[in-house]
Amino acid sequence: MVLTAHQPVYLPWLGLFHKIALADTFVWFDGVQYLTKDWNNRNKVKTAAGEIWLTVPVLTAGHREKSIRDIEINNREPWRRKHWRSIHLSYGKARFFDRYAPFLEEVYGREWQYLSVLNQHMLVWFLKELGIAVEFLRASDLELEGVKSNLVLDMCERLKASVYIFGALGKNYARVEDFTGRGIRVVFQDYVHPRYPQQHGPFASHLSVLDLMMNCGPESLGVIMDGNLSRDEVRRVSITAG
């Protein structure tokens, strides 16, 4: 079984969906510490005036002692109205805006208490719309032990993974020999960002997946996978590991 995981992020970039699309099972790492100025609560979209951040405000009191699943949204700020207005202004004339607008309007019309719940709700929808079929598990339900590399290894052993896919930054902390010693092959993602038809001037990369979907619709998954590691290649790693 091919496994991967990632912490909750808001309006994720293309590389996360490539990593998930390679796996049989995806674990939502909602038990790790919340990181300020990271991607947990923000991402970028492209407007006629250039790239802008969409940031979900959170209650910061005691956040250093909290895991991501316990981080609450600051709903005293009118962030939902601002985000929906920015998306509507940015992509209202995009080819596939009408296809995705009803879901987004519903999301921004609701009040969300926890950041992780919002992010999970949107991620599950993104996966469905992109056509990525994967088993979805929450780390908070698995009672995992350890930190960093040991935490990932414990997860792999509990779920009986034969291959684990790290993001590129996994090279900074993964102890590969611990995995191979237990019969688990390690793959490090090295995502090559594709180009695709885009509005508002010169192409900009590393935006939210919303930008791709608004412009390419049902062809988005093909764009995400183009020129990158494929499921078949990962499966061959798994067979070798077996």
| H-run or E-run covering 172 | none
pLDDT at 61: 82
Range of the domain at 117: 2-241
Question: Residue 162, Cα to own-chain centre: how many angstroms?
Answer: 22
CA atoms 40, 135, 167, 204: torsion sign: negative
Query: What type of residue sits at position 43?
Result: N
**β-sheet bridge partners, residue 54:** 43
Q: What is the pTM of this model?
A: 0.94
pLDDT at 238: 56
pLDDT at 34: 85
Extract the tokens encoding 196. 């695709």
**Per-residue model confidence as pLDDT tens for the chain (242 residues):** 999 999 999 999 999 999 999 999 999 999 888 878 789 999 999 999 999 999 999 998 877 678 899 999 999 999 999 999 999 999 999 999 999 999 999 999 999 999 999 999 999 999 999 999 999 999 999 989 888 899 999 999 999 999 999 999 899 999 999 999 999 999 999 999 999 999 999 999 999 999 999 999 999 999 999 999 999 999 876 554 43
pLDDT at 137: 97
Is the Cβ–Cβ distance between 201 and 211 less than 8 Å?
A: no
Number of structural domains, the chain? Answer: 1
pLDDT at 241: 44
